[in-house]
Structure 1
């Protein structure tokens, strides 16, 4: 598949922060991202137990309604000492009935790590690309960003667990980084770059 044939993709996400990040990163590859909200599409229920299955479900849902090539992502925070939780429940960690409760999610995370010395963690992003709803060979890529969890929040940029996710080699949290810094190392940018290589070179 030649890169010139991929100039726009529908993104299966209603998370405004994530949409902005995708637009910023994909623009560097001259690919226009169209969020599913542009088509008035609601989110699909994330009922699976793996990031891959959730991403595929979201991609097929949106592609089925738009009839267009679609990408979808499922991502989360995995903490060593918590058996890789919150994992697939990252956006609804503090309440399974409500998504993107960043303040309460972070509070619960820090509470659950109280008196635990091991703070190693990583962000993971799984991105799926399909050409059409029943595409039998979805392209799948993975990106990870390693760091550790700190008790005191730092930084006003980013979203989710970024204020508590500290990157030792940078000496600051993800929320303390500029958008350019974050997009150069993030789990999402790693997964996107891998995906673009698969789309272009097969």
Structure 2
């Protein structure tokens, strides 16, 4: 039987990262772009986990299939953890990467490099239809620094500004393999891999 994993996103960049991990393991990865007329979820949660649960539980119920959702964001220490859960709409409700990056740089104007520390966070939630209490939750974090000018042409979101000293690269300068290894989403996926297949088998056995 074909193994299908639905990712609750319309973001092609995120989908590419998940496909790089799950497709070599024999899973077909679908996203919300593969389905018609799906109502979007209002991310009204106050934490990354709450928002990820909202998306995973909603689409698992609608599609009647297990769904993996993530909520990710940039937490800048100088800005007291902002933009956090509002990372995708930092500059307004319309998701605009360029505007978000511009606002971040403006809010960090004049801040010394040693004070531009930040954390990229991801919470992943895997949900089974009709069983929100059984949600599988994992997290991933990567510390880094916010540059004063963007670097790199790959990636999305804040990737061109998020610098990882270990590789002397921003996320937007990394290869796909490097990003899967070093990114916050990659870290969360690593924490998911040892547990999700057993969780899946346990849910299949529930009558």
What is the TM-score normalised by the length of structure 2?
0.89
- Give the 3 Å change call, closer, same or farther, for CA 78–28 of structure 1 in structure 2: farther
Q: 8 Å contact 1:13–1:43 — kept in the other structure?
A: no
Residue 13 (str. 1) matches residue 9 (str. 2): yes
How many correspondences in the alignment? 196
Cα offset, 1:157, TM superposition: 0.7
Which runs of at least 4 in structure 1 moved beyond 4 Å after TM superposition? Answer: none
Residue 98 (str. 1) matches residue 98 (str. 2): no
Map of 1:65-76 to 2, 5 A cutoff? 65-76=62-73
What secondary structure sits across from 1:85 in the alignment? coil
Show structure 1 runs of 5+ residues with no match: none
Show structure 2 runs of 5+ residues with no match: 200-207
Cα offset, 1:151, TM superposition: 0.6
Partners of 1:33 and 1:151 in 2: how far apart?
Answer: 36
Partner of 2:51: 54
RMSD over equivalenced CA pairs, Å: 1.6
What is the TM-score normalised by the length of structure 1?
0.91
What secondary structure sits across from 2:53 in the alignment? helix
Q: 8 Å contact 1:14–1:43 — kept in the other structure?
A: no
Q: 8 Å contact 1:162–1:174 — kept in the other structure?
A: yes
Cα offset, 1:134, TM superposition: 2.9
Cα offset, 1:6, TM superposition: 9.3
Partners of 1:29 and 1:194 in 2: how far apart?
Answer: 16
Residue 25 (str. 1) matches residue 21 (str. 2): yes
